[in-house]
Structure formats: C-alpha cells, structure tokens
Structure 1
Amino acid sequence: MRTTRTLAVAAAALAVAAAPTAAHAQAPTASVAYHGITSAQQVQKFQELSGKGYVPVSLSISSGPSYAGVWVKSSGVTWAMYQDMSAQGYQQRFDEYYAKGYQPTVVTATGSGDTARFAAVFVKKSGKFVARHNMTTAQLTAANADAVAKGLVLTSVDVYGTAAAPMYAAIWTANTSGVRSEVTVGKSYAEHDAEFKARVSNGYRPGYIAVGPGGTYTTVWRNDKISGWFEHTGMSSSGYQSRFNELKTDGYFPAQVNSEDGKYAAIWTK
C-alpha cells in the first residue's frame, strides 16, 4: 500500500459526526440522496442511514457548512465517516485509520486557512492509493501526472480555499479497469461547457466533478462509455432538486453531487 501523507497547517478543534460504524446490508438495491442540510442534520442522516445498512458513496461539504450526499445499500463494507474536521483533524483521522488498514474513498472540504473544514469517508480495504490535501492548482496537476504514471486514477477531488487561491484535496486509487481518464482544473462555467462538448464528442464523459470557490469546475473525464448518464452544472439548490425529480422519473439517480457557494453540480446514472 502506498500513500502520501501531507501534513496539515491548521490547528482548529476537531468535530466529528458520530462514532465510526461498520455497515452491513443487502446487495446494492436502493439509494438515498439529500442536499442543503446542516451539520446537525448530517449527523442525523449518518445515524439513520448507517443503521439501515447504507454506505456513503458521495459527500460534499460547502460553505455554511452545508452537506450533500448520496448513499447506497451495500453488503460487507466496513467504513467510517467524519465531518466538520479541521485540516489537522483530517490528517489525524487519516493517520489513525490508515494504521488500521483503511483508505479514504471520499474527501471534501470548504473554507480557507484555519477555518477550512473537511469531511471524509474511510473504507477498510487494500490496494495502492495516494491521498493529499492542501494542494495548489500546480501541485494538483503535478500530483495527478505522477499518479497516472504509476497506474493510479483520480477518484475523489474537491476544491476549497478562495477564488484567488483555490486549494485541493484528492484521492487516487489503482486504475484496475484500464479506463482512460483525464482531468481539467479550474474551468469557468463557459469553459467547462466547451470542454464538455469536446470531450463527449471524443467518447469521454464526466466521471467526477467539483465546484470551486468563484464557480469554477474541476472535472475527471473518463472514456468508460456507460450506457446512460446525465451531467448538470451551475444549478441552484432548487434547480438541483428540479433536475433530481425530473431524472428520477426516467430511472436515473445521482452518482455524485458537489456544491460550493450555493452552486451545485451532479452526475446521474442508471
């Protein structure tokens, strides 16, 4: 197992959602999604859904803090989730769970400096991975190139900091499927739209998307050619809900949701 440990710089007090829990449920047959909830409501969701055998597969913390998440039922998964952590608190939890054989599968952050807050999901599993946070744009780009050269692929990324000085938290895992993956960083809404059209015409789709401060988009593009998907960006909270309701009637459900500064981006699949 390989990981990169990036020392944090903040020293604010740690706040956790609840005691970590293991989830054991049926095969994936159901999903639950929510958005725009407070930290206290997120704790309630954790307690309710983990108790029913759900596992978080997408998690986003944005200014407020406000939470959005997607959970699925899944069997045989041992995991833990923590929220409202400082950068130092996230590093401490990473070190603690890495020593127990866990890997972070989702990391999300909002805010800047000592007020930045993190949330993360840790799953007990083996395999190569790299996890880093407090990266600048240049550092993210360099880290991604290095990870790809070593057979890894970006599977979780979020943007925090400020519009003038964005920071990144990310996770790379082994690219066992061999699917080609490319990353674009800090695109405006118009630039992302143009990138979307060009990438899709070349057989790629957005596999992961993060909204940054100031309304930028950092996107992982994959050429896995799944049968059905939708991506929508630049949505308000109500706009996201409208898209959710519309697509749900056609059998689509969010696979990943991300938000910052009241703007949402999401990817739906069947």
Structure 2
Amino acid sequence: MRITRTLAIAAVALAAAATPTAAHAQASSASIAYHGITSAQQVQKFHELSGKGYVPVSLSISSGPSYAGVWVKSSGAAWAMYQDMSSQGYQKRFDEYTAKGYQPTVVTATGSGDAARFAAVFVKKSGSFMAQHNMTTDQLITANLKAQAKGLMMTSIDVYGTDGAPTYAAIWTPNASGVKWHLTYDLSSADHENAFKIRVSNGYRPAYVAVDPGGTFTTIWRNDKSGSWYEYTGMSSSGYQSRFDKLKTEGYFPVQVNSEDGKYAAIWTK
C-alpha cells in the first residue's frame, strides 16, 4: 500500500487555446461535458478549455484509453492536469505538486499492473488531505477508517485492476461541516439499486460513483442538502448521451461522470 503524498509520470500539462472539437461534447453557459474521446482529443480539450477559463471538476479514464470529463468556468486557484501516467508517474507528479502546495482533487485510473494508466487534477490549496492509490479492498477499508478518524471525507475514488482483483485510488479532504457519509463498493447493479433506495430514503445521496472492472459500482454517499439531482448507472455511451440530452432540457448538467469498459455512471444537478 502506498500512502500518496505522491503521484506519477504523465503526458499533458497546462496551456490555453481555442474551440471544442472532440466527440460528444456538450455545453451550458458555465459547464462543458464530453465523453468517449481519445487521449489526443483529451489533450486538445485541455488546451481549448483551459484557455477559455474552464477547470476540470470531473475526469475519467477508461479502457482504450478513453476519456470523459466535466469542466466549469472558474477564476480560482492555480491548477494542473496530467494524463496517461503510469502508477510510478502518478506518484512522481504527486510528489512534485504537493511539494509546491498543490493537492489532488480528482484521480482516475484504468488497467492493471504495469499497464495501469492514471489521470489526475491538482489544485493549489492548503489544508489537510489524504490520498492513496494501488489499494486492495482490504487496504481501502483500512485507509478509509484512518481518514475518518482524522475527520476527513472521501471526495474522489476510482476502481481499476481486474474484476477478480479490483484496485482503488482515492482522495479524502476535510469534513468541515461534519456531514455523515459512507462508502459502498463492488455492488452489482441490483445491489446498487437496493442501496440507492435504502440510502435515499434515509436522507443520503450518491455524491460520487465509479464503475468497477466487471461492471459493479463503488459509491460515496452523503447525508447533506444538494438540491435536485439525478444519478444513473450502467449506461452505454449512447445511453449516457440520451440521458444528457433529456436532462439538459430540464435544466440539469452532469457534475461527475465515470466510465469503464464502455459502461457509464453519472450524477446530474441543477
């Protein structure tokens, strides 16, 4: 288990630039979302959107590699994004940027072993945090208990590896308002649906959902107030696009998207 105060190799840094061209791109006045794009198109997106004052708030790398993301207009803190990193490369970037006062806000990965590839967003900010990657299920449970004991709340998680040996990367940040939260992992579609019904009836909502290798789901649940929202899981690329188009007409926009092996999960809010 590696307690990440660290990150690793990469392929893309910051920049500025021009106009969206990647597949499945959609926009509102303050947000832009896309999915099913290649690494090269993701590089294009970085240059196009960062140059227009957008910042990535959701990022997902899946087999291919294929990328999905959500960006919002922001004039806040300095940030950096790296993609197509090895595990060691992610660790290297983590060490480099935390030494400069940055923290990871999103970490996403796909593949297994030496073939695993990572993407991450770093934001310059102060405060405590905890981040780990290459965790087994048992190591995830241990790390989560450790984070909770420190008053931290999980705010990003992704699952890579294989169906039989899932591997986790996660980030925990201060739970300043004392929000009740918990994590479910490796749930089938049916089990996730049951968990959804039970937790929503008890005042919880899915705050972050990841598609695991093999099509199960790992979810961060929070008991907080967030206004109107929708969550859908197990969508194909076209199914996600259909949900996007329908919900957009109702004033909703995705705030988090995750994908693996052609299956998507996403959360929308107004």
| TM class, shorter-length | over 0.9
Pair 1:20 & 2:19 matched: no
Aligned residue for 1:252? 252
Cα distance change, pair 6–167 in 1 and its aligned pair in 2 (3 A): farther
Q: Which amino acid aligns with 1:190?
A: A
SS at match of 2:3: coil
In the alignment, the residues of structure 2 paired with residue 229 and residue 156 of structure 1 have an alpha-carbon distance, to the nearest angstrom, of 18
Q: Is the 8 A contact 1:158 1:169 kept in 2?
A: yes
Q: Is the 8 A contact 2:16 2:47 kept in 1?
A: no
Q: Which amino acid aligns with 1:261?
A: D
CA positional deviation for 1:236: 0.1
Aligned residue for 2:60? 60
Aligned residue for 1:113? 113
- CA-to-partner distance for each residue in 1:149-204, whole Å, 9 max, x for gaps? 11000000000000000000000000112211110011111110100000001000
Aligned residue for 2:135? 135
In the alignment, the residues of structure 2 paired with residue 208 and residue 15 of structure 1 have an alpha-carbon distance, to the nearest angstrom, of 25
CA positional deviation for 1:238: 0.1
- CA-to-partner distance for each residue in 1:110-167, whole Å, 9 max, x for gaps? 0000000000000000010001000001111111111011100000000000000000
Structure 1 runs (4+) deviating above 6 angstroms are: none
SS at match of 1:198: helix
Q: Is the 8 A contact 1:5 1:132 kept in 2?
A: yes
Q: Is the 8 A contact 1:22 1:79 kept in 2?
A: no
CA positional deviation for 1:227: 1.6
SS at match of 1:143: helix
CA positional deviation for 1:55: 0.1
- CA-to-partner distance for each residue in 1:85-130, whole Å, 9 max, x for gaps? 0000000000000100000000000000000000000000001000
Aligned residue for 1:181? 181
CA positional deviation for 1:21: 4.8
Aligned residue for 1:122? 122
Q: Which amino acid aligns with 1:174?
A: P
In the alignment, the residues of structure 2 paired with residue 112 and residue 216 of structure 1 have an alpha-carbon distance, to the nearest angstrom, of 16
SS at match of 1:41: helix
Aligned residue for 2:4? 5
In the alignment, the residues of structure 1 paired with residue 232 and residue 76 of structure 2 have an alpha-carbon distance, to the nearest angstrom, of 32
In the alignment, the residues of structure 1 paired with residue 193 and residue 238 of structure 2 have an alpha-carbon distance, to the nearest angstrom, of 21
TM-score, normalising length: structure 2: 0.92
Q: Which runs of 5+ in 1 are unaligned?
A: none
- Percent identity between the two aligned chains: 75
Q: Which runs of 5+ in 2 are unaligned?
A: 18-27
Cα RMSD (Å): 1.9
In the alignment, the residues of structure 1 paired with residue 6 and residue 46 of structure 2 have an alpha-carbon distance, to the nearest angstrom, of 28
Q: Is the 8 A contact 1:21 1:80 kept in 2?
A: no
